[in-house]
Every structure is written in C-alpha cells, then in structure tokens.
C-alpha cells in the first residue's frame, strides 16, 4: 500500500492546472494505485493527482462500491442541475451545498491507454466534476455563491489544520543536481 500525503487548501499545487498525460507507463499505473490507496484510506469519494502533489490529469473515484479512474478527462454536462453537500479531502471537515450538473458523460483514458467513457448521475456525476475541477486548478469553494464562500473561508481559518501543511520536497538519492561534471 502506497499512501501519500494529501495536500491541504493553501498549497499552490491545488490552484495549478494539471498537464495532460502523454505516457501510459508503469509510473502512471503506480500513480493510479497510489491515488486509489490514499483515497480509500482517507476515506473519500474521489482524489485527483494534484491533491497528492502530482500535476497530471488523473483522478480516481469510489462511488456506490465502484472504484475507477480516468486519465485526461473531458466532460459533457447535463443542463439539469443538482444541489448537494460537498466536501473535499484537501479541506478536512469543511462541507457546503455546491451546485453541479445532475448528469455527466466523461471521456478519457485508462491507465493502460485504452479509451474510457464514464456516464453517471447524482453522486458519481458530482465526484467526476469535482475531481476534474481539481485538474483545472478549481476548488469546490469556487463554485459557491458569495455568502457561502465567505462562510467556508471563515470555517477554513478556524480549522485546526489551517496553515499546518507546507509542501514536502523530496530529493531523489539519484539526483544529478549539483553533481560535479
């Protein structure tokens, strides 16, 4: 099991749009496994790569006992809307009624480079939209109206985790930075 630290609100990686995956290799399969393990342990309904500090367009979900992932998603959203409580692993304990499309058709790729289409409504549609937003540097609080966002920001400031996490920088023991030439 490869559990990763989940980045919290305030970490710049959460506001940085992720880049498209171009190589479907062992490292991508490991990333998907890391996302799944971390999401299930948290527990959460979804987790995007930027939430573990990886700026790639990949996310996982676990909704209605279905575990899945999507690489390089593009979404078609219904005009019908839903309003419901939404939270985020990067905002522990913070929830708000968040508007989302009722249905989604998401197209993308599997970790093996095979085309995938995911169709869902209600909670699955909400999770797919939420995670795709993460890939675009959008957070669920950005979807709230002005008053809700003000209240959410107050709750964030008062949260015991606010300001605690600084990004962890890991240096490979195989790094050539600073090596003599």
Give catalytic residues, as residue numbers: 131
Instruction: Give the single-character DSSP code of 126.
Output: H
Cα dist from 71 to 93, 101, 111, 112, whole Å: 28, 21, 7, 10
Query: What does the block give as tokens for 176?
Result: 């050539």
Instruction: Please say whether the beta carbons of 141 and 91 come within 8 A.
Output: yes
Q: How far apart are the first and last CA of the chain?
A: 38
Q: Give the β-pairing of 81-87 and 95-101.
A: antiparallel
């Amino acid at each position: 099991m490869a559990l990763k630290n989940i980045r919290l609100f305030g970490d710049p990686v959460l506001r940085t749009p992720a880049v498209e995956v171009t190589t479907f290799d062992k490292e991508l399969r490991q990333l998907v496994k890391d996302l799944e393990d971390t999401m299930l342990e948290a527990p959460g309904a979804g987790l995007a790569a930027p939430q573990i500090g990886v700026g790639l367009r990949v996310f996982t979900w676990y909704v209605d006992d279905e575990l899945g992932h999507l690489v390089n998603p593009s979404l078609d959203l219904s005009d019908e809307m839903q309003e419901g409580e939404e939270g985020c692993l990067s905002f522990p304990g913070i929830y708000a009624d968040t508007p989302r499309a009722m249905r989604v058709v998401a197209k993308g790729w599997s970790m093996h480079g095979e085309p995938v289409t995911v169709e869902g409504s209600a909670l699955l549609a909400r999770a797919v939209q939420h995670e795709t937003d993460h890939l675009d540097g959008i957070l669920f609080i950005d979807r709230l109206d002005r008053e809700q966002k003000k209240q959410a920001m107050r709750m964030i400031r008062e949260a015991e985790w606010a300001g605690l996490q600084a990004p962890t920088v890991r240096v490979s023991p195989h790094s050539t930075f600073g090596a003599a030439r």
